Structure 1
Amino acid sequence: MKALILAAGYATRLYPLTKNFPKSLLKVKDKPIIDYILEKVLLVPGIDEIVVVTNSKFAVQFRKWARLQQAGKRISVLDDLTKSNETRRGAVGDIHFAIDKKRMKDDLLVIGGDNLFDGDLNKLISFAKKKNGPVIGVYDIKSKHEATKYGVIKLNRGKRIVEFREKPSKPQSTLVGMCLYYFPKQKLDLVKEYIKDKKGKRDATGFYIEWLRKKVDIYGYALSGKWYDIGDYKFYNQAKDVFGLKHRS
């Protein structure tokens, strides 16, 4: 199994903090955001390689970070060859880029490089293997107003996704999709198919999930505890105040 950490965005909503520094390397308390993610990934015994996909602007900084890690597993940094927010590949584009460049043939765990969460990845993967299909991590945000900022999910009793709406004005639930995915190796080619089919919608992974839902059964696994999708100063400050305090060493 491979783990892919998405860190190729330009984080313009966090300027000037991220103008010349990658968001995933910003610190929450005493360590970078990506370190919290790495700790979670290292608890998954089946993962034999961790791939960080970034851009040309920040590749040097991530390679320096990777050299300092003593993870016991291979960490690869992949430059997606973009140099600006205007030319970015987008999240789905970077997933496709990584699968293609690394010639991935294994099950794949994908995590957004700006996501901090408490949940157990082993439980999500175990759930995915029982379902034998793609799985997205979901979170009950407990506010329909806040849900309008995310992809909103409706599950049936078997936890299969029966509806996925990207940033709806009137959400039907408070269950939202995280940037946390498990794709069985048999389904990796569907990313390439989506890229060809939906050339203009490579950034929001929600569009891919809604497209994928119509092709195969895809399931949602609810994670408990805290979750921060660090997209702007508000959530970055919240993460520093709450998540970092809880996880201090």
Structure 2
Amino acid sequence: MKTDAWDLIEAVDSNCNSTGRVKSSPHINQLQVVRASNSWSSLLLYFSKNAEASLWAAKVARSVVSSLSSVQEFNFEERVGTSDCAIWADVINHPDTGQPAGYGTRLQRDVESDTTGKFKHLLGIAKPLLPVGHCALITHWIKAMTASECVDTIFVITNALYFEPFQEWAREFPNVKILSDGTKTNEARLGAVACLQLTIKHFSVEDHVIVVGGDTLFKEDFSLLKFTERFSEAQAKHRDASLVLCYQCKEEETSKYGILEVDEDMRVSCMKEKPQPSETQSRRACPCFYLFSKESLPLLDVFLDEKKNAPIQERDAPGTFLSWLILRRPVYVQEILGRFDVGNLPSYIECDNYFKDRIQDNNVYLQ
């Protein structure tokens, strides 16, 4: 039996009011008026134009999961006919993410739950476009790469929902090209490896490629110049060598990261995905920052062909390709002190304040 969305909203609002998980909202009164028209478009329009209501709806949706088992039978997306409301619709369908197209984060959930209201401006912003210090997170990389002249062109791939914000941001950077993967839902996502392949094919890339995760920022010891010099050294040993980074993580943190094991020449022998401390002696965490040699790029096709029938998790994160590549081509590593985390609100605030206080010269940072 399909469950009516109105019943879900009202039942959860009532239930959560008594349990204290989600307080009753004045929006329920407005929804009664909207419901009288028996129009789904009216419901969607109401939430799309009322950010506070949309925030409340997201909280309600997450409470639904633990309140009503019937939510698993309810497919809100079947009733949605407009892309403008895809964000809210996806929140209802996938309340554990809180954001559409697989880009939901703990940070967004923290912002939704924050009672101070100081961070409402962060709602719905893609991680790379988050303000960090005096500019967007991704802008730190663009300025550094442009100033250091280590790359010819910068490609940014995003989903269809964030395509326009990225286009707007990129107007001041003539060397940046934005590409949409065309997806709008988490289920339809291509995965990071397929997105990399799409970018390379779309722009006919035939050179070495630096891959940077959209939420990646490093401490001041990192230098693009030193990194590319280290890559040249690795290429002198093996013309098909690639290069990655690592930093020392705490013993209890190995289960959070991909951990690299290396030999005496700092060549990676294997990458273990989120191992327990007892499963590896290494504490070398590998952030999403890779320099793939042009010789390794054709292997993307091989990897994706091998994984075409595998679950999306086996080809989603870029580290899955790296782990596979390590067993087939030389991959070396350069050590750094660490990376910044913007995964939740407290860590984002810490990172933002750090950059405001200490990273003043964008023409030097990361170069």
Shorter-chain TM-score tier = 0.7 to 0.9
Alignment size in residue pairs = 237
Is the contact between residue 54 and residue 77 of structure 1 (CA under 8 Å) also seen in structure 2?
A: yes
In structure 2, relative to structure 1, the CA distance for the partners of 1:25 and 1:106 (3 Å cut) is same
The structure carrying a bigger strand percent of its residues is 1
Report the counterpart of residue 107 of structure 1 in structure 2.
Answer: 208
Report the counterpart of residue 86 of structure 1 in structure 2.
Answer: 187
Q: Which amino acid aligns with 1:150?
A: Y
Report the counterpart of residue 128 of structure 2 in structure 1.
Answer: 24
Question: Which consecutive unaligned segments of at least 5 residues does structure 1 have?
Answer: 1-7
Report the counterpart of residue 245 of structure 1 in structure 2.
Answer: 357
1:205 to 318, 332, 343: 318
Report the counterpart of residue 54 of structure 2 in structure 1.
Answer: none
What are the equivalent positions in structure 2 for 1:94-133 lying under 5 Å apart? Answer: 94-117=195-218, 118=220, 119-132=222-235, 133=241
Residue identity over aligned pairs, in percent, reads: 30
TM-score of the superposition, structure 2-length normalised?
0.60
- 2:245 paired with 1:137: yes
What SS class does the counterpart of residue 165 from structure 1 fall into?
A: strand
Question: Hey, what's the Cα distance between the residues in 2 that align with 1:89 and 1:231?
Answer: 22
User: C-alpha offsets along residues 18-64 of structure 1, whole Å, 9 cap, x if unaligned?
Assistant: 66321111111321111112122223324111111111000100111
Question: Hey, what's the Cα distance between the residues in 2 that align with 1:126 and 1:66?
Answer: 28
In the TM superposition, what is the alpha-carbon distance from 1:234 to its structure 2 partner? Answer: 4.1
Question: Hey, what's the Cα distance between the residues in 1 that align with 2:333 and 2:344?
Answer: 26
Greater relative CO, 1 or 2 (CA 8 Å, sep 6+): 1
Is the contact between residue 152 and residue 176 of structure 1 (CA under 8 Å) also seen in structure 2?
A: yes
Q: Which amino acid aligns with 1:153?
A: L
Runs of 4+ in structure 1 deviating by more than 6 angstroms, as ranges, are none
In the TM superposition, what is the alpha-carbon distance from 1:10 to its structure 2 partner? Answer: 1.1
TM-score of the superposition, structure 1-length normalised?
0.87
Q: Which amino acid aligns with 1:129?
A: S
- 2:336 paired with 1:223: yes
User: C-alpha offsets along residues 68-110 of structure 1, whole Å, 9 cap, x if unaligned?
Assistant: 23xxx52100111111223222221211111121111111111
What SS class does the counterpart of residue 138 from structure 1 fall into?
A: strand
1:152 to 256, 259, 278: 259
Is the contact between residue 37 and residue 113 of structure 1 (CA under 8 Å) also seen in structure 2?
A: no
Question: Hey, what's the Cα distance between the residues in 2 that align with 1:11 and 1:247?
Answer: 28
Question: Which consecutive unaligned segments of at least 5 residues does structure 2 have?
Answer: 1-100, 112-121, 236-240, 362-367
Is the contact between residue 10 and residue 84 of structure 1 (CA under 8 Å) also seen in structure 2?
A: no
Q: Which amino acid aligns with 2:295?
A: Q
Q: Which amino acid aligns with 1:138?
A: C
In structure 2, relative to structure 1, the CA distance for the partners of 1:138 and 1:37 (3 Å cut) is same
Question: Hey, what's the Cα distance between the residues in 2 that align with 1:246 and 1:147?
Answer: 29
- 2:293 paired with 1:184: yes
Is the contact between residue 124 and residue 221 of structure 1 (CA under 8 Å) also seen in structure 2?
A: yes
Q: Which amino acid aligns with 1:78?
A: L
Question: Hey, what's the Cα distance between the residues in 2 that align with 1:116 and 1:102?
Answer: 26
2:177 to 51, 73, 76: 76
Question: Hey, what's the Cα distance between the residues in 1 that align with 2:302 and 2:345?
Answer: 35
Q: Which amino acid aligns with 1:235?
A: S
Question: Hey, what's the Cα distance between the residues in 1 that align with 2:341 and 2:299?
Answer: 26
Is the contact between residue 52 and residue 76 of structure 1 (CA under 8 Å) also seen in structure 2?
A: yes
Report the counterpart of residue 55 of structure 1 in structure 2.
Answer: 159
Is the contact between residue 261 and residue 282 of structure 2 (CA under 8 Å) also seen in structure 1?
A: yes
Question: Hey, what's the Cα distance between the residues in 2 that align with 1:230 and 1:91?
Answer: 19
Is the contact between residue 49 and residue 75 of structure 1 (CA under 8 Å) also seen in structure 2?
A: yes
In the TM superposition, what is the alpha-carbon distance from 1:236 to its structure 2 partner? Answer: 1.9
Q: Which amino acid aligns with 1:158?
A: D
In the TM superposition, what is the alpha-carbon distance from 1:228 to its structure 2 partner? Answer: 1.4
What SS class does the counterpart of residue 137 from structure 1 fall into?
A: strand
